[in-house]
Structures are given as structure tokens and as C-alpha cells.
Amino acid sequence: MTGLVNADVVEALARGGADAQCRILDERSAEVADVMANGFTRRYPEMAAKPGFARWQLAVLAMIVAGGLAGVVFAPLVVLAVLTVLATVYSLLNLVVMVAGSLSGGRRGAGGDPPVPDVDLPRYTVLVPAYREAEVIGGLVRQLAGLDYPPDRLEVLILVERHDPDTARAVRSADPPAFVRIVELPPGPPQTKPRSVNLGLLLARGELLVIFDAEDRPEPDQLRRAAARFAARDGRLACVQARLLYHNAGANWLTRQFAFEYALRFGLALPGLARLGMPVPLGGSSNHFRTEALRRLGGWDAWNVTEDADLGMRCACLGYRVEMIGSVTWEEAVDTIGPFVRQRTRWFKGFLMTTMVHTRLPWQALRRFRARGILTLLGIVASAPVTALAQPLMAALTVLAVSGSMWSSSGAGLLVPAVTLQAVSAATWIGITFVAARRSGLAAPWQAVFTPCYAVLWWIAAWRAVFQLAFSPFSWEKTPHRNRPEQA
């Protein structure tokens, strides 16, 4: 019965104008909140995060932990060798993908899509989930007001929590154009970004739809370029991902390393996946969708804390494609260690959660993803947190082995190859990071040599992510943003 009632609410929101939608949000708040939070889980329970781990997954994890502990006690050099091989395989796979990405063109991408005349441009919905973003939201509102897109075909929905009046007040203070509308979210758990944008999808009237975060500064022609790409492709293209870079890359060492990482991800890794025909785990912003395709995909999983990567995998799972465009959205890099670790904890937790979700039914996953999709899921999505979990143990075992504390005649032959592979992997990662930073025009690309030091923060975040996945899987640690206009 709940499903029928919710379907009635969804239909009413789709039919109604802005005033009617606001009235429904007030009068049927609880029903709308339920759709936002649980609509996807009811529609695609086998791909939803809320049900948690399958029993067989918990059993396998328990065996891995028990085997690892036994190995560290009785055969530490064998454990070191196994972990080193695992990390090396992951590095080689990522290197292959990034080399493919390097063949996809420079900063602006290959381009070449014929522009769409103004009279043929589709209506566009822009979703901006904003929670406690009073300091930066005004800048985005002014940026959106200057987009190179016909205003009569734009709809901007600023999605704010009812208990966050400061953000709504900041939007109004920015003198928003008529196409900008503030939407107050019905209260309810979980308080996550995907829950927020699910409401935006229910309200959206555009044929195309894009998400921007409150601190984003998209290039003015980005919507036109995305519309041109969709017009040049068939209906199986569900999403176009723009590039993300940081405007404050030069603020300090951490922001520069973070900018290098984004240059690697959005300049090489994601274009490489797209070029190889593999699923593309989306970034959290500047995802442009065909609205109808997004609705067929079920929208976002409100309980998955990396809803973007999950949705990218689901696109491939259900037979859709994701492509990249060279247009850039400038974001703000976290500039202090505490917020960085909390943000990365959420990302790693979400990557592990997404891997768990899409391997819960192994044979079904094989049929849906096939070899390339499974390779992306296990070798790209899972590789970041798994490598970050393994590296501190590898480092500790390596130090003990080199110091002679773990010497044994049977295991001595494993030490030199393990250390050599670790050194080669580190040097390769530094080199590819340097290439990505130069291609993106970032200053001081030589500072890629500090990438191994930056990775130590990943280690902390990865182990925090495991703890949270066990005890608070759906918690969302908010990343703070400040209005700072430095340029890279």
C-alpha cells in the first residue's frame, strides 16, 4: 500500500507547477521524505546499500581477517609478498587506464560535437544540494546567473534543509535570477546529499539535468557543451561527466596534492575508463544526465555515501554509457588535515559500500557487468581503499624485515622482490601524477614526489572508513567550505 501512495505523490509532483509542488511538499511531507530516502531501495533492493552485507560476504571477510592475522604471526614475509603483489596489480591496472586516458586529448578534451542552435536547446534543470553553505552559495548563484544558456530554458533548484535558514537567506541575498528556486527539503533520515537530490529529480522539468555543489564554479559554456554531446549520441548515453579541478590548489601543500590527485582522476583515469568502454565511477559534481534515463536508473541511493560512484556503476549495469567532456568546474580543495581525513573517510567507506552492494549477488553481477565492469568494480573502485588499508601494514612489515626483526631462511628470498616492487610502484605513481599535473596546467608539478607522504593520510582515512562501515555505515561527515577565490 505504501508503494501505491508513494507513486501517487511522485505523479502529483511531476504534474504540478512550482506552487503545486510546494503545496505537496508541505501537505504530504512524510510521504515525500519516504520516497526520497527509500524509493530506490524498494525499486532496486538488490542494488541498494541499506540491506547491508550478505552472509557470505561477512564470512569471507572474517576468513580474510583471520588468515591475515595468522599470517602476520607465523609467516610475516609471505603476507608482505602477497600484499605487495596485490598493490602492484592494482597499480598496473590503474596505470593502463591512465595511459588510455592520456590518449583522449588535453585539457579541453577531443571536443568536436556540433553546437546545438538556441532554438533547439533542451530545457535544463540544475540541482544544487546545499547544507550549511551560507558562506559560498552566493558565489555559485552569481555564476549560474552568468551561464551561457537561454534563461527561459533553465531551472535551478537550490535544495536546502528546513533547519538551515542561513543558506536560504544567503541565496536570496545574492539577487538570484527568476529561474532560481529555493526548495526546502522535508525532514527525515538519512541527511545525505543523495537524499536531497532525489527530491530535485522528483521536481525536475528539464530534459537534461546537472548537479553542482555549493562551492562549484562551472565554466559558462558547460551546459551547452553537455547538450551538444547528448545531441550527438544515442539514448544509451545517460551521463556526461565534466572535469573537476581546484581553484585554491596553491593555498598550501595539502591543497596542491589534492589538486594533483584530481588532475589524475579527472584528467586521466575517468577518460581512460570511458575510452576503454569500462564503467565510469562518477565524481560528485558536474554530472549531466538525460533526466528520463536517470529516472529509469532509479535516481540515487540515499543510503550510499558515494552515490556518484554507485550511480556510475549502475549506469553500466543497466546498459547505459558515461562519457567525459573537457569543460571544467572549479571546486575548493580542503586545506586542513582534519576535514580532509573526514572527507576521504566518507569516500573510502562509500567505495567499499559500493563494492559490497554490487558483489552481493555474484552471478548476477557477472551477468550485468561482464568482465570489464567487474574489473572496474574490483580493480578501480575497490582498489583505492584496499590499497590504503594494505600499505601501512606493508610499510610496517618492510621496516621490520629490513631491520632483521623478521628474518628467516625460508622467507628471506621474498624480501628483495617485495621491496623492489614497492619502489617501482611508488616511482611509477609519482611519474604519472607529475604527468597529470602538467597536463592540467598546475603549478609546481615536481611536488608529485611528495605523493607517498600524502598517501599516509589515505591510510588513516581507510581504517576510519572500515570502522564506520561496521558501526555507522550511513553517517555523512560534512565537508566545510569557505569563500576563497585563489586560482591554481
pLDDT tier for residue 2 given thresholds of 50, 70 and 90: low
Per-residue model confidence (pLDDT) at position 1: 46
Chain position carrying cell 511531476: 14
The answer to whether residue 275 scores a pLDDT higher than 90 is: yes
* Residues 125, 79: Cα–Cα separation, whole Å: 51
The DSSP result for 107-160, as a single string, is TT-S--PPPPPGGGPPPEEEEEEESS-TTTHHHHHHHHHT-SS-GGGEEEEEEE
pLDDT digits (tens, 9 = 90+) for 146-168: 999 999 999 999 999 999 999 99
pLDDT digits (tens, 9 = 90+) for 213-237: 999 999 999 999 999 999 999 999 9
* Residues 376, 468: Cα–Cα separation, whole Å: 24
Cell of 274: 570511458
The answer to whether residue 109 scores a pLDDT higher than 50 is: no
Q: 190: cis peptide before it, omega within 30°?
A: yes
pLDDT, average across residues 2-20? 78
Per-residue model confidence (pLDDT) at position 104: 72
- List Cβ neighbours of 11 (8 Å cut-off, separation of 6 or more): none
The answer to whether residue 488 scores a pLDDT higher than 60 is: no
Q: How many CB atoms lie within 10 A of CB 448?
A: 24
pTM of the model: 0.93
* Residues 287, 308: Cα–Cα separation, whole Å: 9
pLDDT tier for residue 40 given thresholds of 50, 70 and 90: very high
Q: Is 126 helix (H, G, I), strand (E, B) or coil?
A: strand
pLDDT tier for residue 402 given thresholds of 50, 70 and 90: confident
The answer to whether residue 459 scores a pLDDT higher than 80 is: yes
Chain position carrying cell 576503454: 276
Cell of 425: 610502484
Residue type, 435: V
